[in-house]
Structure 1
């Protein structure tokens, strides 16, 4: 199994520690990947059976002809607006601002564009989106006082705030989550599926194992949600570069609620329909088939 260093992967680490799949596997390992290219390499080498992913990534793979399946949606909000200006209360207050953006072509960028447009804000005209390479660059700019506003994903937000407090920096504020702003802007489409678990091509047809993995993941996700401190300590054992305090805060502010993809198909198709209309290349040019929604 694999995933990024984010909340969507934390239940997988709990599954590894508790040997949750002992009935199906002698040994279960977790592979940390940093970007989709690394994930593709792991899949190509058949080194991953299941991976935590942003939900559009398996849709993109399926659109390109790869036989993958989305098993669940577990994370429904990981993007936050962070600011050092206490007068900025939400996305609607970004007119005339310079906002650091560490993602340009993936799912967060697509959603942010849609949300800003709903507030009548056109990037490049009404505000400036300042692209940077990644979340670490965005954090560095804020910590150095060279940026005042940024859009970041968890756990980068919690890590930034923890680092800023540790160094006694000028106050930074967790302003508003994209999930909260989305519900206000699009009440007819309030759910915002962000990330979940996908099966690799070599495991896509193993329905029994997929159901077992999805059920074990859901149980571990519930444990992480109800035991954020214990979960944070577990995560730190596997990913020691993530401080316990920052991980705990990240879990507390993230909606971690595992729902089978077949059950969450409505919100997923609404999201994929929006992407297909605006940025079809992000899902491979077509909507996923019914068989895509597992387990």
Structure 2
């Protein structure tokens, strides 16, 4: 199975302060011999919450967080069974599901996704060069095409090795726009204020545009996916989901400690002058329905991005 999978990996809540301080003791530490639940994610706000949860033991489980820096790296770790959970796109989860890897989506995120542009920006159609993190056929480009719905005359697109490369190219004036998640979008704006290059601004939030075109449904294309034998362990998965919510509260109450954890987990998460926060995890049926609508649009545009078959509701699991 691992050899077969390897052939296709390239495709593609606030709480009182006193209660927060007592959370690790209240939950109880994981038993010394408890198996470690390894979670991986890119340097985005959702991953920050998992990193804090793992560092502070807020789930009561033995959890380790690892940062991935490219979609191929994430796919390789999943295919090799090295991680039990990951922050990935719903399309990536569908792809693994369709290739026979035991996979479920336990939660989704309506994550901020900005087009960051140089000032002044026009109020008409985007013009010039737009940068996409990662290569052709990856989710940033596909998502942009889905949300915009039609080609934009006068707009050229280029691909970069990742979000930080896109930020640097913007700061050097070598492009007019970039499609960035948080915290890369905020990092670009903050850094532009201290440099001699072009000033940058958050020009368009794709979530707002999507909601206007989908009857108010959230743009849920990012997910907490669970893989392998962990799919059939509802206790640990449910504990991690609860721990995620507790970590959101902890981040707000401990900004300095959060920054230290971010620097250790992924330095890109903790740029100077940036306010660190998290993105809530959504687990209800309404959120899963919104995520499946996004999957349908992705499948319509590029069936191969989801493994050629649109999964049904069985891709999603509501853990107690």
Instruction: Judge same fold: TM > 0.5, yes or no.
Output: yes
1:44-123 matches, cutoff 5 A? 44-73=79-108, 75-89=109-123, 92-94=124-126, 96-103=127-134, 104-117=136-149, 121-123=150-152
1:260 counterpart residue number: 283
Q: For the Cα contact (< 8 Å) 1:77–1:177, is it kept in 2?
A: no
The answer to whether structure 1 residue 170 and structure 2 residue 198 are counterparts is yes
Q: Structure 2 vs 1, CA of residues 127 and 40 (structure 1 numbering), >3 Å: closer, same or farther?
A: closer
Tell me, in whole angstroms, the C-alpha distance in 2 between the residues paired with 1:273 and 1:226.
Answer: 39
Tell me, in whole angstroms, the C-alpha distance in 1 between the residues paired with 2:299 and 2:268.
Answer: 37
Local SS of the residue matching 1:188: coil
1:208 counterpart residue number: 235
Local SS of the residue matching 2:43: coil
Q: CA deviation at 1:286?
A: 1.6
The answer to whether structure 1 residue 138 and structure 2 residue 170 are counterparts is no
Q: CA deviation at 1:227?
A: 6.1
Q: CA deviation at 1:58?
A: 0.9
Which of 155, 159, 180 is matched with 1:127 structurally? 155
Tell me, in whole angstroms, the C-alpha distance in 1 between the residues paired with 2:248 and 2:211.
Answer: 23
Q: CA deviation at 1:233?
A: 4.1
Q: Structure 2 vs 1, CA of residues 237 and 137 (structure 1 numbering), >3 Å: closer, same or farther?
A: closer
Determine which structure has greater relative contact order: mean sequence separation of CA pairs < 8 Å that are 6+ residues apart, divided by chain length.
1
Q: How many residue pairs align between the two structures?
A: 279
Q: Structure 1 stretches (4+) deviating beyond 4 angstroms?
A: 225-230
1:217 counterpart residue number: 244
Stretches of structure 1 that go unaligned for 5 or more consecutive residues are none
The answer to whether structure 1 residue 269 and structure 2 residue 292 are counterparts is yes
Q: Structure 2 vs 1, CA of residues 171 and 259 (structure 1 numbering), >3 Å: closer, same or farther?
A: same
Local SS of the residue matching 2:125: helix
Q: For the Cα contact (< 8 Å) 2:146–2:298, is it kept in 1?
A: no
Which of 282, 289, 293 is matched with 2:305 structurally? 282
Stretches of structure 2 that go unaligned for 5 or more consecutive residues are 1-38
Deviations 1:130-169 (A, max 9, x none): 3333323322221112222222222221222222223243
